[in-house]
Chain A
């Protein structure tokens, strides 16, 4: 393994670490804001389920990421440019306050680097079509499932008068739903990094095209995202749980379990989706059971802008980042 490969794997794992660091808030914000767990305990809870996700989900998402471009397209330089594009776009949008998806940034970055190095013909349109459709479908799934789940709970329990006992049950339920969401997050997001590392290994002839993801790649990606969650979570925990709509334990449970189902389905189908956008959709679904004005539509609107801007933005940064390599190689 040469220095380039080692460096790119290190950058990819850092990307994964910061994904966990940043997205931990999505998994635990509702459990913390409803005071089911303290921030510190919630972070450990989420990090554990982020890590063990590899036991539940396969590596279909990683294979999708590794096949977004025709075989032989990616070189060390283009993968490096793709990661630069994704990371730079994440930093730019973090400054602008746009809730963009690291996953979409990575997909956009890979596309930009592939086009800069080989041309438009390098992109596998069927894979991009699948990813693009699910950019819109996954938040819709989160929204509809959460609305349905929350309404079903209202229907079942609306005559139940022992509110305190009921709330205790929902608080316990939230532990399970937060775990399920963290499992989905770890499963889908860690696999994107695995896909990048797999691409590097294929580009350097370390593994053959179409091979399974090596176990050390699976374990290192899950370790990176788990550690990121552990270190990052509780400082940015106030975001999702309170910014879109105010949540009760029952709402948190509905939102997390619905998002977990949506992300789990996508992961089993091999589709990289944004966990941030899916949980946002689910929280909006819970808010909509009260009334539309219970949802802060400004935040929801910014998610839509993030859909539109992320892939072209990361594409452009990665394209530009590859140009110096093109001039010298």
Chain B
């Protein structure tokens, strides 16, 4: 079982928001945290969707297309 690029893209976005946390002025850090949380939420949801679909079909789905 492996993940397609789409959930991994959201994981990269999460990491980017967290990497920017330190240089962000303290009054704006809520933006980093909320965006990282939202992105991580989508990573988890899309990963779960793909893994469940793969288990159902018995193989990896094609790039996480929404059908």
Contact = CB atoms under 8 A, between A and B. Distances in A.
The number of chain A residues touching the other chain, given as a range, is 20 to 34
A144 B28 contact: no
A134 B32 CA distance: 10
Contacts of A147: 42
A291 B23 CA distance: 32
Contacts of B20: 133, 136-137
A323 B28 CA distance: 37
Contact of B17 (A130, A134, A140, A293): A140
B47 interface: no
Given A126-B25, A130-B25, A292-B9, A137 B31 contact: yes
Contacts, number: 59
Size category of the B interface is 20 to 34
Contact of B64 (A140, A154, A292): A292
Most chain B CB inside 10 Å of its own CB: which residue of A129, A134, A144, A290: A144
A271 B17 CA distance: 17
A130 B28 contact: yes
Classify the interface of chain A: helix, strand, loop or mixed: helix
A129 B20 CA distance: 11
A201 B63 CA distance: 56
Interface string A15-28: 00000000000000
Contact of B13 (A126, A143, A148): A143
With most chain B CB atoms within 10 A of its CB, the pick from A134, A147, A291, A293 is A291
Contacts of A291: 6, 63-66
B55 interface: no
Interface string A60-104: 000000000000000000000000000000000000000000000
A141 B35 contact: yes
Contacts of A265: 31
Contact of B63 (A132, A141, A144, A292): A292
Overall SS of chain B's interface: helix
Given A126-B25, A288-B9, A141 B42 contact: no
A269 interface: yes
A278 to B, nearest CB: 13
Contact of B5 (A141, A154, A289, A292): A292
Contact of B39 (A130, A133, A144, A154): A144
A148 B38 contact: yes
B30 to A, nearest CB: 10
Q: Closest 9 interchain pairs by CB? A: A291-B65, A133-B24, A144-B38, A292-B6, A130-B25, A292-B5, A133-B20, A291-B63, A133-B23
20 contacts: A132-B23, A133-B24, A133-B25, A133-B28, A136-B16, A137-B20, A137-B32, A140-B39, A144-B13, A144-B35, A144-B38, A144-B39, A269-B28, A271-B28, A288-B9, A290-B65, A290-B66, A291-B63, A291-B66, A292-B4
